[in-house]
A and B are shown apart, each in its own frame.
Chain A
């Protein structure tokens, strides 16, 4: 056992602390090439990560950069710098600590490159940027340790892949570099360890004492949850009661729109004027900072929020978490609950509020999964190639490189360990020539191979453009919202949403109902409105799909004879479904057909999550259209898709055959709007197109054209292009999520139970109340356009010929 330096021991003692076993273990294993620490929030995780660095730096002999700390949030980097400065100052350690993020000033950044601190706190994007400079080898010379904080969060996106490629680069510059990952509770620690470590180095996993299990329950309400919908408005009195009984409550919602509506309704019912705030990703930074500051000062009793508060600085006094809407994913629920009671060894307290009757079942399933420590998560796919394309361009910015060496380096990143040389070469070819079947750019290659075999930028000025487009976070096109005549922005809305507004429309933002007045350059101008009911509130936000594991758990629950764990109203509902029709089974696919309201309905209980069920709805209606079944529309949820039309399919089984579905998928993929959105992200990350910069939009230059045109062009003239391949790969997950349709097909393997009925079934009934019904396309857009044109012409008193 490494002995704690007396200096540290004294400092711990002066605070009345004793070192945690996992902190000691980190010191003991300080020489390991890679270490993954899994610890609950409040367990002194960050200090555990830094202790070995402080110990090594204490003698004051190290020159230059020693430890690099990378976190997903800028705010976290700044917060850690402040927290770390306290022990360093109190022990009078000769250590310089600085942070470097997008917010750091240019002079400070320049100085850091010339004279780096001992400990540098940064984000994956800022690190990638540092590595794109020619002086990177000098700046990182002597680097000993890298600490990746909240690695579980980074691993969920391409930011993790970019970071691990950057670490591979750093490892080549500093062969003795040791890696430490800090993570919250995850379902598969070894997978995270493989991501972190240099492949194929081993990576020890240290598990801190997870503390007592959280106290999670369903919120009891007088009112029953409604049959459908996602707002949770029925629970507002009970939620307010809980807020009164606790010091500080975080009220999590799954989407921003739901958070806004709930917050609005909460205020209407808040007779005691409890200080309650709102926090989500569409709010202006200024607004969020204000709420955060009020929170830290202990001035708020509750915050209505979304995933934006899943990570980040320690709020301290939170003693209750309320989750409105089914948690969709047990792991995230546990991590959210970890936000309460950051005192080690005290159980966190949480309440679940199902938004509708089906979510009662889902919440109970989630509670049981949480009790059983049965966490969910999809296995990580191989490292995405669009990120690799960007990495190659970054490497070229830093100077000429050797392709063999770069390949050897890339495959030391766990996510890219299985990358073949041919795949790498395709990415290099894309970065160099565009990789088109028509070799049009021989004269204007972006990278060219020199006589000595090294690759370099043909035009060194291209480095600037590459750096400006660096990173894997893609913001949708957002417009600021501002109260007319006032300077402070209220927040941001998506350009597409703004385009759908007409003057006088009302919507909710930051808890206020505002009226749309018009677009002024790139700012949406609004005014206050006396209306109490907003017309619309749409933010795209992320709609999470219920995880595979949770869906399976629900299907297993359905097989029970009785449901003592469910409230009576919900248990009766399920029993009635079993009596009238059937309950869905894990290894069979239940399909119901029934007439209702003069239309024929087809309901497929696929339990594949909302994105996949949406895709299934699109595919099935397309096939029904072909078969002359005249589908008119559909609606989907996490567990089912309901399709209505003019004719009843007598035998739905052939509709659901795997081979045909896959074929339909391939055709359908081609022109789909989700694919175009996926393509746009891939095109930005891989460096084909520039990020949308505000300046361009501001001048309204007609030179910028939509990436949809590029997608259509490639589809027509070069369908096998690398980016089309990557786009298809991405479509299997994410928005299109065909992977989960595959999972459904494999699980049920053609075992289809078709129940034909003469009326709506209990399980299908709530689907009729769902919002988000999708009309089946065709020439519908053209018809709508013609209709709208006729209306506009009439309104203008024109019939189109009056100019003559």
Chain B
């Protein structure tokens, strides 16, 4: 795939930060993917494949139609590097159910190739509730003790891995204003950043996130080097 080698700065994402959740050790990767080494499980959230197509279909802007390839290229790289036994897509993998039909034949083949030889789970999200005809398992949530994988975090849960919020952290480092998608975690849960190319972010200081996370929650910023900080805007 010619596009694959053009995807930017891939080499730099070899970095990661490890953290504990429910007795397991997890790895927040600079790419925005989550790696569970003991289970050989890779989780990514909010791929939003087919987003530009959906916007166009709804009569909106005609955005550069390359984000699906770009997202898959980055996912391909992580799979190639880690060789996971299981891949979990934590919901909102497609921008809506119709987006699946809009995928090109090349894209479908690419996804099939990624799935070959491993277990693949599509968790349903608010954008893509229906099952997909791309193979893999379609679930509302996945229990893999001690962890539970679902799209939207539930109050009171523990050992929970979710996505949905597209968290990002904004930080002022000696006058330099830096904004990065980030993981948020505390003793109960981790919330993943969005992996899709055309995704924005929700500041971690938004009330929805601050209420969900414990006061001692931490954020791990994605990028060329992962960086861990106290979650900005957490409950004091």
In the complex, A436 Cα to B56 Cα: how many Å? 13
With an 8 A cutoff between CB atoms, is B128 at the interface?
A: no
Set of chain A residues within 8 Å of B65, measured between Cβ atoms: 434, 436, 438, 440-441
| Given A706-B200, A709-B197: A700 touches B66 (CB 8 Å cut-off) | no
With an 8 A cutoff between CB atoms, is A110 at the interface?
A: no
Chain A nearest CB from B145 CB (Å) reads: 19
> Is chain A's binding surface mostly helix, strand, loop or mixed?
loop
With an 8 A cutoff between CB atoms, is B135 at the interface?
A: no
A717–B70 contact, CB under 8 A?
Answer: yes
In the complex, A748 Cα to B206 Cα: how many Å? 55
Set of chain A residues within 8 Å of B156, measured between Cβ atoms: none
Partner among B62, B176, B216 whose Cβ is within 8 Å of the Cβ of A434: B62
A440–B201 contact, CB under 8 A?
Answer: no
Chain A nearest CB from B82 CB (Å) reads: 23
B56-111 residues at the A interface, CB under 8 angstroms: 56-57, 59-67, 69-70
Set of chain B residues within 8 Å of A2, measured between Cβ atoms: none
B228–A800 contact, CB under 8 A?
Answer: yes
A274-289 CB mask vs B (1 if < 8 Å, else 0) is 0000000000000000
B174–A784 contact, CB under 8 A?
Answer: yes
Interface size range on B against A: 35 or more
B218–A788 contact, CB under 8 A?
Answer: no
B20-67 residues at the A interface, CB under 8 angstroms: 20, 52-53, 56-57, 59-67
In the complex, A436 Cα to B53 Cα: how many Å? 13
State the interface size on chain A (CB cutoff 8 A). 55
Partner among B6, B59, B185, B230 whose Cβ is within 8 Å of the Cβ of A717: B6
Residue of B6, B70, B200, B221 ringed by the most chain A CB atoms within 10 A: B200
Determine the residue in chain B with the shortest Cβ distance to A717: B66
Partner among A496, A502, A703, A713 whose Cβ is within 8 Å of the Cβ of B200: A703
A788–B230 contact, CB under 8 A?
Answer: no
A788-804 CB mask vs B (1 if < 8 Å, else 0) is 11001100101010011
Partner among A445, A499, A703, A718 whose Cβ is within 8 Å of the Cβ of B66: A718
- The interface-forming segment of B116-124, B136-144, B147-155, B164-172 is B164-172
Chain B nearest CB from A580 CB (Å) reads: 36
B218–A782 contact, CB under 8 A?
Answer: no
A490-508 CB mask vs B (1 if < 8 Å, else 0) is 0000001001101000000
With an 8 A cutoff between CB atoms, is A689 at the interface?
A: yes
- The interface-forming segment of A149-157, A332-340, A458-466 is A458-466
Determine the residue in chain B with the shortest Cβ distance to A458: B59
Chain A nearest CB from B74 CB (Å) reads: 12
Chain B nearest CB from A366 CB (Å) reads: 34
Partner among B57, B172, B187 whose Cβ is within 8 Å of the Cβ of A499: B172
A702–B177 contact, CB under 8 A?
Answer: no
With an 8 A cutoff between CB atoms, is B8 at the interface?
A: yes
Chain B nearest CB from A607 CB (Å) reads: 30
In the complex, A465 Cα to B59 Cα: how many Å? 9
With an 8 A cutoff between CB atoms, is A714 at the interface?
A: yes
B1-30 CB mask vs A (1 if < 8 Å, else 0) is 001001110000000000110000000000
Chain B nearest CB from A444 CB (Å) reads: 4
Partner among A502, A714, A782 whose Cβ is within 8 Å of the Cβ of B64: A714
With an 8 A cutoff between CB atoms, is B130 at the interface?
A: no
| Given A436-B65, A502-B172, A717-B70: A444 touches B53 (CB 8 Å cut-off) | yes
A705–B198 contact, CB under 8 A?
Answer: yes
A798–B230 contact, CB under 8 A?
Answer: yes
In the complex, A761 Cα to B116 Cα: how many Å? 69
Set of chain A residues within 8 Å of B3, measured between Cβ atoms: 717
In the complex, A434 Cα to B19 Cα: how many Å? 44
With an 8 A cutoff between CB atoms, is A631 at the interface?
A: no
25 contacts between A and B (CB under 8 A): A443-B57, A444-B62, A446-B59, A499-B170, A499-B179, A500-B172, A702-B165, A705-B198, A706-B200, A713-B197, A714-B64, A716-B66, A779-B224, A781-B176, A782-B225, A784-B176, A785-B178, A785-B225, A786-B225, A786-B227, A792-B229, A793-B230, A803-B185, A803-B187, A804-B20
Given A446-B56, A789-B229, output 20 extra A-B contacts at Cβ < 8 Å. A436-B65, A436-B66, A446-B62, A461-B59, A499-B172, A702-B202, A710-B64, A716-B7, A716-B70, A717-B3, A718-B64, A779-B224, A782-B225, A784-B176, A785-B173, A785-B178, A789-B227, A798-B218, A800-B228, A803-B216
